[in-house]
Structure 1
Amino acid sequence: MSEGEDNRPAWGKKLSNYVPVPQRFIVAAMGFLSIINNYTLRNSINVTITRLVIARNYTNETTSGVCPKEEDDSGQSTEALGGEYDWSQEMQGYIIGSFYIGYILGHVPAGLLSERYGAKWVLVGGMAASTIITLITPLSIDHLGPIALIILRTIQGFGSGASYPSCSALLAQWVPVHERSLLGAFMMGGGQMGTVVSNSISGALLRYTTWRWVFYTFTIMAALWIFFFIIMCFSDPESHPYIRDKEKDYLMLHMGRLGRNHNQPPFPWVAVFKSKEIWSLIGAQIAHDWGFYVMLTYFPKFLNDVLQLKIMKTGFYSSIPFLVFWFASLGFGAIASWVIKKNINHATMIRKIMTFIGATPSGIFMVIAVYVGCNTIIIIFCFSVSMGLMGGFYAGIKLSANDLAPNYAATIMAIVNGIGSITGVLAPYSTGWITGDTTMKEWRAVFWLALLILTLPTIPFCIWGSAEIQDWNEPKRD
């Protein structure tokens, strides 16, 4: 059947008259919600673990390294509420970081499958696996112990690894380049909003219910997303049964196609790994991910262990920087889209500028935050500025896979994001090791290290990074 031919069923043509919202916006919105659910499922342990482990009793040697406990209405200091599990800081790091072992391994298979068979069912399958694991996590904690929890979270990570490659494939199939900065930043920014939802809801649930309901609540949310995504979304415009004719014409005009290239040559592995543009992109991804994962996995523990906040405040305050991050990523995305629409030749420049903004300036504010004493408001402000600046990455490197190779965007995203996710293992492990006594001095070392890693690997991208389509995007067949 020729490209652009109307092969929709009769019911689809009729239904298209009643769906006024362009389908590419629906796909972007559902992709955004998919990443939100991905993050609520993976992050469900991050706040909850503060109420699973035995409360830390600070010795005289370490008391000077933490802030005073909050006082209740009577002026008495409040005692930290702990759980029954005697897990060391290192063990907590292993539990949090084990997710990313599977996450790394899940990326490339998901990218290859998304390009070959379409992103829809790859994304659904990965989300379903992660949802089931989250549902049985309380059982593992209660009866199987930390080793079983580590294994389950590794499996969960493998399923969640489908998220970014699949969403990148959806962007490549649905969104023209001049809309990609804004819609791409919106979709990929679901991670920040997912962290906001996860941390704030977790704090409330831990305050008013048992910790098990954190996992059950996010399981229900993800299951609802799976149901509606199956009904509403499709891998590409060609396979969509009720896309409107007006949108089909628009996409054909700006993208030159409606469906995937089912006959494209195999992925050009050699050309990709010989490309300095790819290696500079990988370096910038590693930089971003290190800073992001330190904040994502350990910021609630920093607020709980060092500032010694109550659980409701821990959940609320730990969500604020990520809310700022999300709004900033949209703002940076809008600016990038405006610049590129005015002159597409500026795409490379804007990707580099946005990536730099998200790197060194972001790390500087992380360091400032741990030198202002115990003033909670100033600390949250500094971390919020830091994460807001990090939003530049989402109009920068996060869209480079689509810029460099639209035909292979899912696998490029899988390679880059997968390698970057190694930091999801290393950052929690190293943070748990550095913060053995959970003092402010130790946390300063954590954020100095984050500044260093945010800066150095980003430099090659600012030199060799590109938004130009590469020659190997259209490899010749033998």
Structure 2
Amino acid sequence: MTAEINKGPVVGMRHVQAFLIFLNITTMFIGRLNVGVCVVALTNAETTNPDFPEYDWTEAQKSYILSSFFWGYIFTQFLGGYLCKRFGVKSVMFWGVFGSGVCSALTPLFIGFGEWQAYCGIRVIMGLFQGLVFPCIHQHLAKWSPPTERNRLGGLSHTGIECGNVSAMFLSGMIAKSSMGWPGVSYVSSGIAFLWCALWFIFAADNPTESRFIGEAELHYIESSLKHSENYHKKVVAIPWKAIWTSAPFLALLVVRCSENWGLSTLQAEIPSYMNGVLDMDMKSNAFFSALPFLAMWCMAYVYLITADILLNKNLVTLAVLRKTYNSIAFFIPAVTLVGIGFLSKEQKNYAIALMTISVGVNSGQTIGSVLNTIDLSENHASILMGIVNTAANFVPIATPLVVGWVVEDNTDRTEWQIIFIIASVFFFVGNLIYLIWGKMETQPWNAEDYLQVKDQELGKELASNDAPKKNLSLQINEKTKDDSNATSG
């Protein structure tokens, strides 16, 4: 009978770190997504608080504002992965969120003197700051999460996405209608960001050995479970770029994340337009129907999390089976429902809402299904992997509206929309199929701390062995030459 492992207190510092990441993601999404409400309030004051300035911006100008965040966001994902390995997660995440909070606080001022152009500019800068954060999150989880608890802590952390979506929608609307008006949305967002920075500064640590609050039992439990060298936290592990880019499991992860973003961006950004044009529904004016899919997504995230915990703890499935099953549910069901939505008429609006809610709700399984796979492949380089994946995946929401604009010439033509939904379904299906075939949930050889040194040694031995026959041949030729010379002179 084996002795029970002492994991420390029921709520330890590893749980505190996961909760801080949850709050971090929620905070970032509130700052990122409040722009939808703000743009409406800024261009139609009667819908919120008419006591604040109103601007006459065109649809094109409003679309620039809505997308400008991602112009900056896509360019610092990779940088964030590198910086947190070089300077530590705590510092990079702090400045990423603090910078985002400053941008929120300055937004009303910028709009006042530069209107929509300045609004775009400050959103781009906010995107640059927030782009640093997500790669840090995965590196932090890799250093704080024992392998047996990784799904639980990682899954709980990432439910901040759904919480942020719902919070941004409800909080922003209520604030804009209050006496604070649309400027209050930015001020509250910045206040939440600064509050998080204070909590992070006090309680966060780059790794368990640097935490001021962790107990000996929990420290030993985490560090012994991760199985790395004693001086691991004091050195920067060299990045095996070639091995990463030639790794089939990593490339499968890259493909599936890009596929997911294509399908989800279609669900989130284009379905409301379809329902408005084809089904004659104004989803944006109905707060309940707008929030319903995200509420379903938030609830389903916990369903996935709890069932995953039970299945893994009772050894009913392997991690690989769990991830691929969850990801298949999150991809294949929306692939079918998207096509189904395209065949519904105006008389079947309720079915359309139901299918949209199901599609978005079940898609939350992709967090446990594939998002956390970066840590499976490499604990040491999780931030780098996430930086690469997020850079590629966040180009997709920029491309999706362009394809829609090219295909859908008449917003009320259902057949044109069916093409869009079929394209998204193909991305969902093919992306997950590639993940099922080539995706892996085991630590890759190139994760080893001394991987590059070992490869260099192996290369040196190979070169030496390849040179040996040449040296022997050269020696034989010299000896033959001497023998011939002696024979001639004799």
Q: TM-score, normalised by structure 1?
A: 0.82
* Distance in 1 separating the partners of 2:173 and 2:339: 26
Partner of 2:392: 419
Kindly indicate whether the alpha-carbon contact (under 8 Å) linking 2:86 and 2:236 is maintained by their aligned counterparts in 1.
Answer: no
Higher mean C-alpha deviation, range 342-351 or range 170-179? 342-351
Partner of 1:200: 170
Kindly indicate whether the alpha-carbon contact (under 8 Å) linking 2:73 and 2:131 is maintained by their aligned counterparts in 1.
Answer: yes
Secondary structure in structure 2 of the residue aligned to 1:358: helix
How far did 1:445 drift?
Answer: 5.0
**Matched length:** 432
* Distance in 2 separating the partners of 1:445 and 1:86: 31
Partner of 2:369: 396
Structure 2 residue 204 is the aligned partner of structure 1 residue 233:
yes
Partner of 1:165: 135
Write the mapping of 1:428-447 to structure 2, written as runs, cut at 5 A: 428-431=401-404, 438-439=411-412, 441=414, 445-447=419-421
Partner of 1:476: 452
* Distance in 1 separating the partners of 2:378 and 2:151: 15
Structure 2 residue 260 is the aligned partner of structure 1 residue 288:
yes
Higher mean C-alpha deviation, range 132-141 or range 291-300? 291-300
Structure 2 residue 108 is the aligned partner of structure 1 residue 134:
no
* CA deviation profile, 1:245-289 (whole Å, cap 9, x unmatched): 221122133223698533353111111001111111111001111
Match of 1:463 among 425, 433, 437: 437
Kindly indicate whether the alpha-carbon contact (under 8 Å) linking 2:100 and 2:193 is maintained by their aligned counterparts in 1.
Answer: no
* CA deviation profile, 1:84-126 (whole Å, cap 9, x unmatched): 43322x4443332222222111111111121232211111111
* Distance in 1 separating the partners of 2:409 and 2:57: 14
* Distance in 2 separating the partners of 1:298 and 1:148: 27
Kindly indicate whether the alpha-carbon contact (under 8 Å) linking 2:18 and 2:141 is maintained by their aligned counterparts in 1.
Answer: yes
Kindly indicate whether the alpha-carbon contact (under 8 Å) linking 1:102 and 1:157 is maintained by their aligned counterparts in 2.
Answer: yes
Partner of 2:380: 407
Partner of 1:78: none
How far did 1:434 drift?
Answer: 6.0
* Distance in 2 separating the partners of 1:325 and 1:393: 11
* Distance in 1 separating the partners of 2:243 and 2:197: 36
Structure 2 residue 174 is the aligned partner of structure 1 residue 184:
no
* Distance in 2 separating the partners of 1:259 and 1:40: 39
Give the AA of the match of 2:440: S
Higher mean C-alpha deviation, range 361-370 or range 239-248? 361-370
Partner of 2:462: none
Residues 218, 260 of structure 1: alpha-carbon distance in 2 compared, 3 angstrom cutoff: farther
Partner of 2:322: 350
How far did 1:449 drift?
Answer: 3.4
Match of 1:99 among 69, 75, 88: 69
* Distance in 1 separating the partners of 2:184 and 2:418: 34
* Distance in 2 separating the partners of 1:33 and 1:192: 11
Partner of 2:224: 253
Which structure: larger Rg? Answer: 2
Q: TM-score, normalised by structure 2?
A: 0.80
How far did 1:355 drift?
Answer: 1.5
Higher mean C-alpha deviation, range 432-441 or range 280-289? 432-441
* Distance in 2 separating the partners of 1:304 and 1:41: 27
Match of 2:296 among 308, 324, 328: 324
Partner of 2:25: 35
* CA deviation profile, 1:280-325 (whole Å, cap 9, x unmatched): 11110011112333444566777778522574x33x3322211221
* Distance in 2 separating the partners of 1:253 and 1:377: 53
Partner of 2:334: 362
Match of 2:57 among 86, 102, 107: 86
* Distance in 2 separating the partners of 1:449 and 1:49: 30
Residues 317, 415 of structure 1: alpha-carbon distance in 2 compared, 3 angstrom cutoff: same
Residues 207, 440 of structure 1: alpha-carbon distance in 2 compared, 3 angstrom cutoff: farther
Partner of 1:116: 86
Give the AA of the match of 2:398: V
* Distance in 1 separating the partners of 2:67 and 2:163: 21
* Distance in 2 separating the partners of 1:85 and 1:446: 31
Residues 219, 284 of structure 1: alpha-carbon distance in 2 compared, 3 angstrom cutoff: same
* Distance in 1 separating the partners of 2:120 and 2:234: 39
* Distance in 2 separating the partners of 1:352 and 1:20: 30
Kindly indicate whether the alpha-carbon contact (under 8 Å) linking 1:110 and 1:122 is maintained by their aligned counterparts in 2.
Answer: yes
How far did 1:180 drift?
Answer: 1.0
Higher mean C-alpha deviation, range 183-192 or range 333-342? 333-342
Higher mean C-alpha deviation, range 235-244 or range 434-443? 434-443
Kindly indicate whether the alpha-carbon contact (under 8 Å) linking 2:262 and 2:400 is maintained by their aligned counterparts in 1.
Answer: yes
Give the AA of the match of 2:35: I
Gaps of 5+ in 1: 1-16, 56-81
Secondary structure in structure 2 of the residue aligned to 1:105: coil
* Distance in 2 separating the partners of 1:52 and 1:190: 27
Give the AA of the match of 1:25: H
Kindly indicate whether the alpha-carbon contact (under 8 Å) linking 1:321 and 1:385 is maintained by their aligned counterparts in 2.
Answer: yes
Residues 286, 102 of structure 1: alpha-carbon distance in 2 compared, 3 angstrom cutoff: same
Give the AA of the match of 1:125: W
* Distance in 2 separating the partners of 1:83 and 1:373: 35
How far did 1:358 drift?
Answer: 1.3
Partner of 2:183: 212
* CA deviation profile, 1:211-265 (whole Å, cap 9, x unmatched): 2222222222222111112112111101101111221122133223698533353
Kindly indicate whether the alpha-carbon contact (under 8 Å) linking 1:288 and 1:454 is maintained by their aligned counterparts in 2.
Answer: yes
Higher mean C-alpha deviation, range 397-406 or range 102-111? 102-111
Residues 265, 242 of structure 1: alpha-carbon distance in 2 compared, 3 angstrom cutoff: closer
Partner of 2:488: none
Residues 137, 433 of structure 1: alpha-carbon distance in 2 compared, 3 angstrom cutoff: farther
Give the AA of the match of 2:213: Y
* Distance in 2 separating the partners of 1:434 and 1:155: 32
Gaps of 5+ in 2: 1-7, 46-52, 457-490
Give the AA of the match of 1:183: L
Partner of 1:44: 34
Residues 418, 206 of structure 1: alpha-carbon distance in 2 compared, 3 angstrom cutoff: same
